[in-house]
Chain A
Amino acid sequence: TQLLEQSPQFLSIQEGENLTVYCNSSSVFSSLQWYRQEPGEGPVLLVTVVTGGEVKKLKRLTFQFGDARKDSSLHITAAQPGDTGLYLCAGARSNSGYALNFGKGTSLLVTP
């Protein structure tokens, strides 16, 4: 059973467009992380959110944690080809020893 559902699964856009990726669950998480992964490499941590309603910005990327700490979104403004990759959300819960539960990811392709 997948605890975290990500949508969309695939996204192909042109350079300069905006996009939003969603990460939803029926479970409450202590924290939620977003990673970006390139083919054949390990995931690279982008951000961690821990407080319900929290918003964090990383250059053109905006991350939001839902008020109930069950969902999160990642918004990219003016996407660039360098943003291409697999975006993964991962939640941690205290009752499972903070092991990361991953969504299946959103594969983003940004074309020039």
Chain B
Amino acid sequence: KAGVTQTPRYLIKTRGQQVTLSCSPISGHRSVSWYQQTPGQGLQFLFEYFSETQRNKGNFPGRFSGRQFSNSRSEMNVSTLELGDSALYLCASKEVGQGFTEAFFGQGTRLTVV
């Protein structure tokens, strides 16, 4: 089975621009979550999508948004980029069950805002 695939691996953007990141989950996994990782804050939860609906959200401003498609692929968008948005953005996919299920991460997209 192929793992979680994130594209692109690296991005450089200018302050004020917007960016879209993509994530393809493991086949059969219908939940996709996004995390931001920075040296100061560590890994922080952004949001989770299941069946094309956001079902859980972290404490990030509205500039961070996402969506999920019918094939479970997900995109994350950040508008009006700020220098502080520079981070490794990680996507994780998991099966959906009654309770907890394990999450598997992609390699991440390294976003640098200049």
Residues on A lying within 8 angstroms of B by beta carbon are: 2, 30-31, 33, 35, 40-45, 48, 50, 88, 90, 92, 94, 96-105
Contacts and interface: CB of A to CB of B under 8 A. Distances in A.
Nearest to B33: A99
Q: Is the interface of B mostly helix, strand, loop or mixed?
A: strand
B64 interface: no
A1 B84 CA distance: 18
8 contacts: A42-B6, A43-B105, A96-B56, A97-B56, A98-B101, A100-B92, A102-B42, A102-B44
A29 B84 CA distance: 30
A45 B99 contact: no
Interface of B: 4, 6, 33, 35, 41-45, 48, 55-56, 58, 88, 90, 92, 99-108, 110
Contacts of A40: 88, 107-108, 110
A101 B88 CA distance: 17
A54 to B, nearest CB: 14
B56 A92 contact: no
A41 B106 CA distance: 8
A99 B58 contact: yes
Nearest to B45: A99
Contact of A97 (B55, B92, B106, B107): B55
Contacts of B45: 99-101
A92 B100 contact: yes
Given A45-B105, A104-B41, 11 more contacts: A31-B100, A35-B105, A40-B107, A40-B108, A41-B108, A42-B107, A43-B43, A99-B45, A100-B33, A100-B35, A105-B42
A35 B103 CA distance: 10
A99 B47 CA distance: 8
Given A40-B110, A99-B33, A94 B43 contact: no
